[in-house]
Amino acid sequence: MLVLQLLDILLMVLGTGALIYQVVYILVALLAKPRVFPEAAKDQRFAVLVSARNEENVLPHLIASLRANDYPQNLIDIWVVADNCTDNTAQVVENLGEHVVERFDSEHIGKGYALTFLLNKMMALGQASQYDAFFVFDADNFVEPNYFTEMNKVFQAGFPVVTSFRTASNFDQNWVSSGSGIWWLREMRFVNSSRMILGNSAQVGGTGFMFSQAVMRMNDGWRFHLLTEDAEFGLNCVLNGIRIGYCNSAILYDEQPVRFSQSWQQRLRWSVGYLQVWRYYAGALVEHMVRERDLSALDFSLFLAPFTAMWFLRIIIGYVFAALGFITVSSQNQVLINWIIGLVGGMLLMMALAVLCCILERDKIQASNKELLGYCLSFPVYFMSLVPISILALISKPQWKPIAHQGRQIVTASNSESEEA
């Protein structure tokens, strides 16, 4: 009984803390204006890092988008690592006049290893030291024309690491891509924006972020290789007192999976990756939170805590104890019912947030009102699928696998100009 009581107390404290934090973030996002940064004092020199595996069809769109930016083009160099490619990715990049290095390693698979290889190569060539900061993009991304100018404002405002506004380029394709799109809208509007207003660090999301030369040197290039290397990188920044900024005005478009099986595997990999990060860093994160009284550490603790998995294990342990005769089955049935009620409440909250996000960020969504209504109604299915995914993550060992991209774009000022050219 004592074990179960302690677990219940722990889950109640963590769950209440996470709920309060979310409510505070929502209120801050609704009542306060996003943080605005002054014009940058000077233009910095940037390197764009792209890990690409068989991306010959979509890379030209990304490169055209970057080259259509209003930032001085002589201060932007694009470096692509063609990672275990079997197509003409390397040749396509070379034909476009950009830097490309090829990597062939069937043992160390994943974006983290590819970025390590690329930065190590740049340092060996003596090229890395000439840049003030490094951007990380995926091959299927494209950006608005003022992207680098806006990111540079936040960078020069004193943030060594900066992440941007991320939204789906194929939001209106189907209910799966819109589910991811709504999820990212919520992260941007009700999490990262509020973090900046409150003075906490933002969370990088795998693509569309930058880090300074000093951060690169501190990490001796790139040394993050878990399945969620972005979460590991962000956590490392918090533990080292490095503030992560968020730029609401720098918009990045990212292609989302359109098949549910692809989305399932992607989110399963992320869930396993978050469990890895929690296992390796939870102790250090809690210690840092207590010692430094760092709200960013508290934020990341609540963000990474595997609530669903913890509740599932609590219920399993409860029924095991009931089978051994230590407690009654009826008491554990009530715990299960309470958990289900909590899940339904969470689903309703997320559905309300989905509607609110779509209203507040309507100008960033490429979909008709009718489609948007349907996507909001289908979002609970997307959201609730995270429950079995989080449970399966306890026993799964997924490997990094590339997702085939269609190169689908929406019309922005940058890609329309590139097409006319």
Residue pLDDT, tens place only, 48-106: 999 999 999 999 999 999 999 999 999 999 999 999 999 999 999 999 999 999 999 98
Look at residue 410 and tell me if it is in a domain. Answer: no
Least confident of 103-117, 218-232, 344-358: 344-358
Last residue of a domain, one of 226, 258, 290: 258
Look at residue 398 and tell me if it is in a domain. Answer: no
Look at residue 409 and tell me if it is in a domain. Answer: no
Please, are residues 88 and 175 in contact by the beta-carbon 8 Å criterion? no
pLDDT band of residue 366 (cuts 50, 70, 90) is confident
Which amino acid is present at 350? Answer: M
- pLDDT higher than threshold 60 for residue 239: yes
Q: Which residues of 275-288 are buried (b: 16+ CB within 10 A; e: fewer)?
A: bbbbeebbeebeeb
Least confident of 86-95, 100-109, 277-286, 355-364: 355-364
Look at residue 51 and tell me if it is in a domain. Answer: yes
310, 219: one domain: no
Instruction: State how far the Cα of 290 lies from the Cα of 359, in Å rounded to an integer.
Output: 38
6, 57: one domain: no
Please, are residues 213 and 133 in contact by the beta-carbon 8 Å criterion? yes
Last residue of a domain, one of 258, 289, 316: 258
Count of C-beta atoms within a 10 Å radius of residue 197:
17
Domain count, the chain: 2
Task: Tell me whether strands 99-103 and 46-52 are parallel, antiparallel or unpaired.
Answer: unpaired
H-run or E-run covering 369: helix 369-384
**In CATH, what number is assigned to the domain containing residue 248?**
3.90.550.10
Q: State which residues form the domain around 203.
A: 45-258
Which of 206, 348, 188, 186 lies closest to 267, judged by CA? 206
The pLDDT, as a whole number, for residue 404 is 59
283, 183: one domain: no
246, 206: one domain: yes
